[in-house]
Structure 1
C-alpha cells in the first residue's frame, strides 16, 4: 500500500512544476544535477534458493543533461543521464553482496537519457506499478526524485560521493560481473529505492 501511495503522490507532483522545491536544480527539475544518497535495505534471494539475504546499501543517484566532472578520481567518468552507484554500508558485513563490496569497492550503472529502465529484460521482476516502462528523462527523474523524498532518508550531497571522489581509494566492480549479477538485480534495487 505504501508503494502505491508513493507512486500516486509522485505522479501527482510530477504533473505540477516543482521548481519551488528544487533549490539549485537544473532547468527547474527538482534534484537534477545534485547527487542524492539513500540507505536501502536490499533483499535478494540466496544463491541456493533458500531464504533471503538482506544487505544495507548506500546508494548514490545523479541525473543531469551534463557530464559530471567535479573532483573525480582519475579514470572515473559520469556521463549525462542517470547514474547509480552502490556500496555496502559498514553495518552490513555478512551477506554475499556485502562481502563483495567490502574493502572500498563499488558498483556503478549508467542509463543514458531516453533509454528504458528495463534495459535488462533477463531479470524476472514483477512490475505491478509499471516502473520499468519509464525511460530516463526529466519526467521519470521527477517521479524517482519525488518517491525518494516521500519515502525518506534521502540526503542531497554537497560534494562528490566518496567512492568516486579524488583522493579516495575505491575500486569499481563491473555491474555485469558474474559475482555481482548473482547477488544484485538492478530492477529490485530500483524498487527498493522507491518503496523503502
Structure 2
C-alpha cells in the first residue's frame, strides 16, 4: 500500500513539474543541492534468481545542476547530476556486500543529468512501475525525494558525507567491478529506496 501511495504522489508531483519527469532544471525543487542520508535494507539476488543476502546500507544522495566542491577529499569529484554513495551501516554484518564494504569502504555512482536510470541494461530487474523510464532531472529527483520523505528515515546533511569528506579514512570501491556487480544491482537499490 505504501508503495502505491509513493508512486501516486510522485506521479502527481511530476505532473505539476513544468519540465515533466525527464526534467529540465527548474527553481524550487525540494532537496536539490543538499545531501540526503537514509538507511535501506538491500536484498541481493542470487544467480538462480532467488533472493540472497540482505545488507543494511547507509545511502547518501545528492542531486544538483552544479558540481559539489565543499570539503571533498582530493581524489573525489562530484559532477552535476545525481550522485549515490553507499556504505555498510555496520562492520558486523555478514552479507557478501557488507563484507566488501567492511573497514570504511564505499561505492559511489554518478548519473549525469539527462542520463537514463536504466543505464545498465545488462541488469535484469523487473520494472513493473516504470521507474527506469525516468531520466535524471528535476522530475525524477522529485520522485526519489518524495519516496525518501515518505520513508521517514531520511536526514538532510549539513556537512559533506563522511566517506568523501577531507581527512577521513575511507577507501573507494569501483561500482562497475565484477565483484561489486555480483552483490549490488543499482536498479534494485533504487527500487529499495523507492519502496522503503
TM-score with structure 2 setting the length: 0.91
Is 1:166 aligned with 2:169? Answer: no
Q: For structure 1, which segment, 171-180 or 50-59, has the greater mean C-alpha deviation from structure 2 after superposition?
A: 50-59
Alignment-derived partner of residue 4 in structure 2: 4
Root mean square deviation of aligned Cα: 1.6
How far is the alpha carbon of 1:62 from its aligned partner?
A: 0.2
Question: Within 1, Cα distance between the matches of 2:153 and 2:41?
Answer: 12
Please give the residue correspondences for 1:38-117 in structure 2 after superposition, counting only pairs within 5 Å: 38-46=38-46, 51-90=51-90, 93-117=93-117
- Structure 1 residues 135, 99: closer, same or farther in 2, change over 3 A? same
Question: Within 1, Cα distance between the matches of 2:13 and 2:139?
Answer: 11
Gaps of 5+ in 2: 18-25
- Structure 1 residues 92, 184: closer, same or farther in 2, change over 3 A? farther
**Any conservation in 2 of the 1:116–1:132 contact (CA below 8 Å)?**
yes
TM-score with structure 1 setting the length: 0.91
Structure 1 stretches of 4+ moved >6 Å? none
Gaps of 5+ in 1: 18-25
How far is the alpha carbon of 1:31 from its aligned partner?
A: 0.3
Q: How many residues align?
A: 188
**Any conservation in 1 of the 2:54–2:95 contact (CA below 8 Å)?**
yes
Question: Within 1, Cα distance between the matches of 2:28 and 2:75?
Answer: 31
Is 1:138 aligned with 2:163? Answer: no
Alignment-derived partner of residue 23 in structure 2: none
